[in-house]
Amino acid sequence: MTRYFVSTLLALCISCTADTDVTHSALTANVSGECVQKDVGSSEAFASFFGNFTKDNPNNCVNNPAICEGLGLGFFCKADSGCCTSGDSGACNKTPDCTNNAKAVCIERACVPCKADTECAEWSSARRDSRNLCISGVCKECRGTTDCKDPAKPVCDTMIGSDTINQCYSCRKNSDCPGTNVCKTDEAIADSQAALGACLKPTEIVYVNNAAGCSDTGTGTATTPFCQLNAAVSSGKTYIQVAGSSTPYLPITVTGAGVRIIVLGPGRDSSPSAIIGGAHISASASVTFVGLEVTRALGAAAVTCASGASVYLREVSTKKSVEGVNASCSKAWIENSRIQNASDGGINISGSTNYRIVNSSVTFSGTASAPYGVNLGGISSGYFSFNTIAKNLAGVICSAGQRISDSIVSTNLGIQIDAGCSKARVNESVVINAGTAASPTEPALMSLTDEALLVDKTTQAEVDADLKALQPLQIKVGNDYALTARPKGNGYDIGHKELR
């Protein structure tokens, strides 16, 4: 009888244990630090006859450390309980278990601040993190810009008190990029979206200088530059650095789908400037001009954009051309630029061109047949803001209700703004001095009374609303014609310059 009872009890207990699900999940600690799922032990009835036993849970990490590793970085095994816990608790078995860069080193099963670069190097390597330098007990990315190896984040923040001190970041301005002085701040400068905020590397540049020693059959290096831009265009490189010269360069022609050219000059107001005798872009090519002059005295516009092409003018001037810019293409951006003495109109946008005209001025342009400073024709659309259009035969004309905002359109001989335009926050009454037609200068206000009519007249919300409505994916207005930061005071100042 006794033997039968024991056998029956044993069978029942074994059956009960066998039905226990011990493969549900890895053992993990709850908020109290206890394991959610314990090892499977003997029942009280079984223990009263045969003594206690413990059947190992297959998810007990003491028996299989790979269980915690499988949960991801930062989990480690607690040897006393066999459950996985996160390194955020401050406990650890090894340095990679520590998740906080302020306590990145495992010593005596506790995460503590670093004392040496080698400790951060071990931590960053195991965690696939770029913060591999020990700075004041914390693993950080950089002590200086030379520590920033990622082209997308080439600059080290070293400003005391900054929340991002000793972190690498994307360049924000040209001066962040020693060597080339070019930061790829937006799609006009970058050759791809992935390159935004990266510094231009010297190896990406082909050089043009029409001084003695140049050769259009040479290598296009800084020591053996090409003489003319068309030779540089044929080199296959995207970036062309053109030197200032008292002798103008020949016109440049860029055509072909997928062709991308960025021409960098010594500066819009440098002396000598780099003067290009005209530019024609067509057939889906894309060309950016930065910091130079484009002037074509006879026959055509200084810059022509046609047949699905794109043109970007940044810190560019044009003088005494038939037209400044004539664009019937995919995209025409004109920023921080000055157009003077265009006989058939300063800027002529037509077709279905998408335009962005910002922080620029047009003066002393137009004839009886084309009297405008700016013509926004066809079904063109885009963002026209923070410009000064003055001293032309006429100001701005529009064909399809194009919007003019935050601009000075005044002191033109005929109409200021055509009835075909819509407008917001535009001043048509202040008096502008821009020199004379024979000797034009940068537009300036005549009096402090005029200045008072322009300062702090536009809010951030109004600017953002226009951008969202007209060019939601485009870069914001962060500076003025002179690259001074906008806004300065309690709001944006109307016109091409932020006054105070």
Following DSSP, what letter does each residue of 148-198 receive, concatenated?
---TTS-EE---TT-TTTT-EE---SGGGSTTT--B--STTT-SSGGGTTP
pLDDT band for position 12 (50/70/90)? very low
The answer, yes or no, to whether residue 39 has pLDDT greater than 60, is no
Q: What is the pLDDT of residue 21?
A: 35
> Which residue matches tokens 């998740």?
99
Give 214's Cβ-side CA count (13 Å radius): 20
Per DSSP, what are the bridge partners of residue 403? 422
Each residue's pLDDT tens digit, 271-285: 999 999 999 999 999
Q: Is residue 402 over pLDDT 70?
A: yes
Predicted structure pTM score: 0.76
- What's the average model confidence in pLDDT over 78-99? 76
Per-residue pLDDT, averaged over 188-210, amounts to 89
Contact present, 35 and 26 (Cβ < 8 Å): no
Q: Tell me the pLDDT tens digit for each residue of 244-270.
A: 999 999 999 999 999 999 999 999 999
Average pLDDT, the chain: 87
Share of the chain above pLDDT 90, in %: 67
Helix ranges, 156-244 (H): 229-233
Contact 342, 319 (CB under 8 A): no
Tell whether the model's pLDDT for residue 108 goes beyond 90. no
- The better pLDDT of the pair 19, 404 is held by 404
* Per-residue pLDDT band at 31 (split at 50, 70, 90): very low
The pLDDT > 70 percentage for the chain reads 86
Per the DSSP assignment, residues forming a β-bridge with 369 are none
Is it the case that residue 63 has pLDDT exceeding 60?
yes
CA angle 37, 38, 41 (to 5 degrees): 140
Least confident of 2-6, 21-25, 180-184, 397-401: 21-25
Q: Which pairing describes strands 54-55 and 75-78: parallel, antiparallel, or unpaired? A: unpaired
Q: How confident is the model at residue 411 (pLDDT cuts 50, 70, 90)?
A: very high
Residue 457: name the closest of 383, 386, 360 by CA. 386
For residue 466, which phi and psi values (nearest 5 degrees)? Answer: -65, -45
Q: What distances in angstroms separate CA 382 from CA 86, 176, 462, 467, 470, one per listed residue?
A: 52, 30, 16, 9, 6
Residue 67 predicted with pLDDT over 70: yes
User: What pLDDT score does 35 carry?
Assistant: 60
Q: Is the pLDDT of residue 2 over 70?
A: no
Q: Whole-angstrom Cα distance, residue 229 to residue 245?
A: 13
Predicted local distance difference test score (pLDDT) of residue 407? 98
| pLDDT above 60: residue 154 | yes
What's the CA gap between 372 and 20, in Å, rounded? 87
**How is 28-82 classified by DSSP, letter by letter?**
BB-TTS-BSSPPEE--HHHHHHH---EEPPTT-TTT-THHHHTT-TTEEEETTTT
Quick one: pLDDT band at residue 1, thresholds 50, 70, 90? very low
| pLDDT of 88 strictly over 70 | no
Check if the beta carbon of residue 198 is closer than 8 Å to that of residue 152. yes
Q: What pLDDT does 73 receive? A: 55
Q: How far apart are CA 250 and CA 297, in angstroms?
A: 12
- How many other C-beta atoms lie within 10 A of the C-beta of residue 291? 24
pLDDT at position 399: 97
Q: How confident is the model at residue 134 (pLDDT cuts 50, 70, 90)?
A: very high
Q: Kindly report, residue by residue over 460-482, the tens digit of the pLDDT.
A: 999 999 999 998 877 889 999 99
DSSP 481: T
Digit-coded pLDDT (tens) for 342-360: 999 999 999 999 999 999 9
Per-residue pLDDT for 429 more than 60?
Answer: yes
Residues sharing a CB contact under 8 Å with residue 149, sequence separation 6 or more, in sequence order: none
Longest alpha-carbon distance in the chain: 126
Residue 38 in this model has a pLDDT that exceeds 50: no
Task: Yes or no: say if 18 and 43 are a contact pair by the CB < 8 Å rule.
Answer: no
User: Which residues, other chains included, contact 228 with Cβ-Cβ below 8 Å and sequence gap of 6+?
Assistant: 208, 210, 216, 249, 250
Amino acid 473: pLDDT: 76
Q: Could you report the per-residue pLDDT of 441-455, keeping only the tens digit for each?
A: 999 999 999 999 999
Give the start-to-end residue ranges of the domains of the chain.
Answer: 29-89, 201-322, 353-500
Element (H, E) at 135: strand 133-135
pLDDT for position 77: 74
Q: Which of 168, 167, 171, 209 is nearest to 189 (CA)?
A: 171
Interatomic CA distance for residues 106 and 97, integer angstroms = 8
Is 127 a residue whose pLDDT tops 70? yes
φ and ψ of 170, to 5 deg: -65, 145
The residues that bridge with 288 in the sheet, in sequence order, are 262, 312
> For residues 307 and 333, is the Cβ–Cβ distance under 8 A?
no
DSSP state of 228: S
Res 49 pLDDT > 80: no
Q: Can you tell me the distance from the alpha carbon of 43 to that of 33, in angstroms, rounded to the nearest whole number?
A: 25
C-alpha span between 76 and 82 (Å, rounded): 10
- The pLDDT tens digits for 181-197 are 899 988 899 888 888 88
Determine contact, residues 20/76, Cβ cutoff 8 Å: no
Q: Pairing state of beta strands 303-306 and 75-78?
A: unpaired
Of the candidates 88, 64, 90, 95, the one whose C-alpha atom is nearest the C-alpha of residue 77 is: 64
For residues 166-186, one letter each, b for 16 or more C-beta atoms within 10 angstroms of the residue's C-beta and e for the rest, the string is bbbbbbeebebbeebebbbbb
At residue 269, the 3 state secondary structure works out as coil
64 versus 168: the higher-pLDDT residue is 168
Q: What is the pLDDT of residue 81?
A: 72
In single-letter form, the type of residue at position 178 comes to P
Which 8-state DSSP code applies to residue 91? B
